[in-house]
């Protein structure tokens, strides 16, 4: 694992640390996804860990994956998210996902794979190189205080900063359901690009699909976002 640093990231982490301390939130970064699975069982009993981060399906370690868990000042788990490097084997993301999109289904539901499909947008056809997948984003325990403080912007950018420190990826991608995107989550989180109509999942026995966008950031986008003053985003999200 190679650690990278740059001045703007240092300014970001200094600002975010102060905001998190004010909110009474402590973040922990880990690499053992068996431990992460135990954390989820305790904090979110009804949640099923998504396939992209299931340690039974993927070999994950410090070199290719990490998770973030947040605790509030009472010690309760109130936040999770995770990132993992994808092995594109020299292909574009579009080529990779045409074969492997079934590895990114909504968790905890029975999918009809025969009817489900992936549609590559123009961004996916350009994306290549070192690509990081971002998922498992959740906030609980004290959602009202969390939203009012505008800290979802801080948490999203904190994961971006960690990805740069760990891998300095060419791109970060995430899949989000339409309902989440329409509520403005990608913008609050910091994503600069979204592609509609990327995924269409049919649940077994149902005719109405679950549809989703792909959100993505290039390495230049990441640095641009981290250069922007956090106070601007926190004020807008409050």
Phi then psi dihedrals of residue 99, to 5 deg: -95, -25
Tens-digit pLDDT string for the chain (238 aa): 444 444 556 778 888 888 888 888 999 999 999 999 999 999 988 889 999 999 999 999 999 999 999 998 889 999 999 999 999 999 999 999 999 999 999 988 899 999 999 999 999 999 999 999 999 999 885 545 545 446 788 999 999 999 999 999 999 999 999 999 999 989 888 899 999 999 999 999 999 999 999 999 999 999 999 988 776 655 544 4
Query: What's the pTM value of the predicted model, to 2 decimals?
Result: 0.90
CA distance 45 to 39: 10
Burial of residue 49 (number of CB atoms within 10 Å: 0-12, 13-18, 19+): buried
Residue with tokens 């340690």: 55
Six-digit token string for 178: 């339409």
DSSP string across 12-25:
HHHHHHHHHHHHT-
Q: What separation in angstroms does the CA of 219 have from each of 46, 47, 192?
A: 35, 31, 11
Cα 145 → chain centroid: 21
CA distance 154 to 14: 11
Q: Which residues of 219-234 are buried (b: 16+ CB within 10 A; e: fewer)?
A: bebbbebbeeebeebb
DSSP count for the chain of H helices, then E strands: 10, 8
Determine the angle formed by the axes of helices 7-23 and 230-237, rounding to 10 degrees.
Answer: 40
CA distance 167 to 163: 6
């Amino acid at each position: 694992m190679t650690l990278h640093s740059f001045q703007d990231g240092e300014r970001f982490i200094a600002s975010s640390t102060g905001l998190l301390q004010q909110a009474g939130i402590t973040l922990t970064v880990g690499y053992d996804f068996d431990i992460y699975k135990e954390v989820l069982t305790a904090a979110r009993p009804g949640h099923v860990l998504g396939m992209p981060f299931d340690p039974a399906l993927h070999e994950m370690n410090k070199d290719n994956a990490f998770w973030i868990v947040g605790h509030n000042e009472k010690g309760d788990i109130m936040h999770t998210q995770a990132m993992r490097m994808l092995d594109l084997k020299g292909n574009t993301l579009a080529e990779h996902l045409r074969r492997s999109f079934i590895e990114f289904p909504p968790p905890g539901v029975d999918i009809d794979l025969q009817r489900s499909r992936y549609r590559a947008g123009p961004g996916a056809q350009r994306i290549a190189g070192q690509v990081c997948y971002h998922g498992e984003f959740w906030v609980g325990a004290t959602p009202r205080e969390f939203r009012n403080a505008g800290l979802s912007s801080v948490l999203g950018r904190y994961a971006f900063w960690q990805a740069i420190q760990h891998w300095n990826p060419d791109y970060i991608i995430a899949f989000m359901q339409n309902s989440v995107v329409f509520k403005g989550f990608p913008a609050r989180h910091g994503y600069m690009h979204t592609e509609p109509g990327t995924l269409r999942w049919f649940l077994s026995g149902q005719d109405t699909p679950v549809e989703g966008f792909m959100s993505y950031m290039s390495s230049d986008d990441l640095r641009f976002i981290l250069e922007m003053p956090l106070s601007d985003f926190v004020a807008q999200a409050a």
